Structure 1
């Protein structure tokens, strides 16, 4: 590993550990440090971009899109969407039915556009009900809280597989047996493909035209019709004398005209089928889902007093089974004349009735997180009354600091100094 890559890896680790609301300050300091080591701005950005992208997704970054606060989460990212430029991703905001482009380096959302949900109407109705109740709960209990509910792909309802390509029709795949059909007589005598057969047929037709008399004899009707203007006796005599041998040639001319049509059919076979390749793509059909991701975050920044904090929670609801799996994470940073951080995580699991009501889902989240808050409060009380006492010098019974400059005026000081009687 090169020294430059080692520096970028170390910087990425610091970036992932950025305290709440301070990622831009950390990024600015890392740029200055890495620039002094000889790395260019493009190298720094490309090297830190993966860590910055991961940080924004894990921390549920709040951005503004068209005047509304939206979340950047792992569930909001549109998989397979083409990136506008390096460092950008396309995310969905399901509440407004829109999607936007998020620039991880600049921390800005742009290019909002309508989004078409791949899920059916019943699934959308469930998601909207959960979103409304969760948003109301978060706005009432969390500072600067923002919530979003996403529909997750459900393995029980996989997306439909693309339709297989239509098989070619029997007329296109059928081939004439060798030596049969209208072209059988010529195909038996001529080696090569249909193009060569067509060339020979054209030459034969040209020779037949030269063999006709100047005042041509017309034929009417179909096969076996007698020449007009010639009596039966003349015809019989002419056949004996070989004067009307052109009839056989004329019959060959009719037969050899068919290979040219066969050539056209071959060209049609080579052309793409209008029903398969040129057909308009069928849009994907909406499908149901019973898996939902509930995300919300509360941020409170107070840099003037040197502290910041963030509460972020994510829950996965299996609506069909009635299970709710959740994770709540808290990060707090105090940095007045020091650097103290609190980082704690709560994992929870609740079993509801199958197909629970949205109200019961949000009530379960509220009960879980309220219990977590009470536990944190009790921990803080124990920390100040018990844990911190082991980290500092105990005060005397007067509960006031001892003034050591006046210790000589006290009896204890006199005894220590040897002046006691």
Structure 2
């Protein structure tokens, strides 16, 4: 395997990293590359893609909150020598290091005056919803560039518990189009459980709703509140469906994947395990069952 193939393999591993474990994966793939300079330069595009799609969060300089780093947060790269991300809440932009996950060089940002009142109303309602339902969640609300009637709501909540061998991430993104009176988005859930095994859940739920006239005709605060009520209802139903699925898997699916007893129809006496002649006993048991 040549150097470029090793970089490609390392990038693939990074893009599949479970929530909160990308640094562990990065340390593991260092053994594949054996050259930190080449590794960092080669996998930087993969790190960037991972951070943007996973809604990585950044501590906003000179602010007391975090902001989501995503495609929706990215300013038009053709207008900047370096890629910058916007935090509408603080009205700041910043540079973001995809390797260290640090934000720097804050600069003031002037939002679109026509879109800002409704965006701010969505932000207020989203933060209220966030604090009610998510543990340490982060939300960012953006007005779509070049439009005063299109908005993006993004939410991410992470829970890492390496001491108990599990981690999880909830992401949701909604695009509000007030011209078309629609709410479209998706919910993405990733969970990794790795105590004495390696089990991952990765699921996506698409959302497509029409906004009723009571929403589109209301003033900004009331309309934003009603939109978040629709999101709350949709996410609540999805959470219940996940819980029902877990219940069924625990009671039926996983039990059907394994035998209740060995072929001998008897539990193994582990104190005598070294004395078993497995081949002979299984053969004898097979003949016995066949003659019965």
- What's the TM-score bracket when you normalise by the shorter of the two chains? 0.7 to 0.9
Equivalent residue runs for 1:129-140 within 5 Å: 129-140=121-132
* Aligned equivalent of 1:343, options 193, 202, 216: 202
Counterparts of 1:302 and 1:406, CA distance in 2: 35
Please state how far the C-alpha of 1:32 moved relative to its aligned partner. Answer: 2.9
Please state how far the C-alpha of 1:24 moved relative to its aligned partner. Answer: 1.2
Counterparts of 2:80 and 2:208, CA distance in 1: 36
* Aligned equivalent of 1:43, options 9, 21, 38: 38
Counterparts of 1:360 and 1:128, CA distance in 2: 14
Counterparts of 1:96 and 1:353, CA distance in 2: 31
- 3-state SS of paired residue (2:184): strand
* Aligned equivalent of 1:55, options 50, 62, 73: 50
Q: With CA pairs under 8 Å and 6+ residues apart, which has the higher RCO, 1 or 2?
A: 1
Counterparts of 2:267 and 2:197, CA distance in 1: 25
Q: Is the 8 A contact 1:292 1:318 kept in 2?
A: yes
Equivalent residue runs for 1:14-413 within 5 Å: 14-35=13-34, 40-66=35-61, 67-80=64-77, 81-83=79-81, 89-117=83-111, 119-120=112-113, 122-154=114-146, 289-354=148-213, 355=216, 357-394=223-260, 402=267, 404=269
Counterparts of 1:102 and 1:406, CA distance in 2: 59
Please state how far the C-alpha of 1:359 moved relative to its aligned partner. Answer: 1.3
Counterparts of 2:260 and 2:75, CA distance in 1: 58
Structure possessing the higher radius of gyration over alpha carbons: 1
- 3-state SS of paired residue (2:208): strand
Q: Is the 8 A contact 2:59 2:65 kept in 1?
A: yes
Q: Is the 8 A contact 2:6 2:32 kept in 1?
A: no
Counterparts of 2:3 and 2:80, CA distance in 1: 30
CA deviations 1:222-268 (Å, max 9, x no partner) are xxxxxxxxxxxxxxxxxxxxxxxxxxxxxxxxxxxxxxxxxxxxxxx
- 3-state SS of paired residue (2:229): helix
Taking a change above 3 Å as real, the CA distance of residues 41 and 395 of structure 1, as seen in their structure-2 partners, is: closer
Counterparts of 2:46 and 2:19, CA distance in 1: 15
Q: Is the 8 A contact 1:139 1:146 kept in 2?
A: no
Counterparts of 2:33 and 2:126, CA distance in 1: 43
Please state how far the C-alpha of 1:46 moved relative to its aligned partner. Answer: 1.7
Unaligned runs of 5+ in 1: 158-288, 408-415
Please state how far the C-alpha of 1:110 moved relative to its aligned partner. Answer: 1.2
Counterparts of 2:177 and 2:270, CA distance in 1: 69
Please state how far the C-alpha of 1:316 moved relative to its aligned partner. Answer: 0.3
Please state how far the C-alpha of 1:5 moved relative to its aligned partner. Answer: 1.0
Q: Is the 8 A contact 1:133 1:359 kept in 2?
A: yes
CA deviations 1:348-371 (Å, max 9, x no partner) are 101013525111110110111111
Counterparts of 1:102 and 1:32, CA distance in 2: 27
- 3-state SS of paired residue (1:110): strand
Counterparts of 1:405 and 1:135, CA distance in 2: 56
Unaligned runs of 5+ in 2: 218-222, 273-284
Which runs of at least 4 in structure 1 moved beyond 3 Å after TM superposition?
81-84, 401-407
Please state how far the C-alpha of 1:405 moved relative to its aligned partner. Answer: 7.0
More strand by percentage: 2
CA deviations 1:54-111 (Å, max 9, x no partner) are 0000000012123421110111011125355xxxx31100011011110011111111
Counterparts of 1:330 and 1:404, CA distance in 2: 42
Could you say which residue in structure 1 is the equivalent of 2:278? Answer: none
Task: Tell me how many residue pairs correspond in the alignment.
Answer: 262
Please state how far the C-alpha of 1:135 moved relative to its aligned partner. Answer: 1.2
Q: What do you get for the CA RMSD once the two structures are aligned?
A: 2.3
Counterparts of 2:47 and 2:159, CA distance in 1: 21
- 3-state SS of paired residue (1:329): strand
Counterparts of 1:126 and 1:358, CA distance in 2: 7
TM-score by length of 2: 0.84
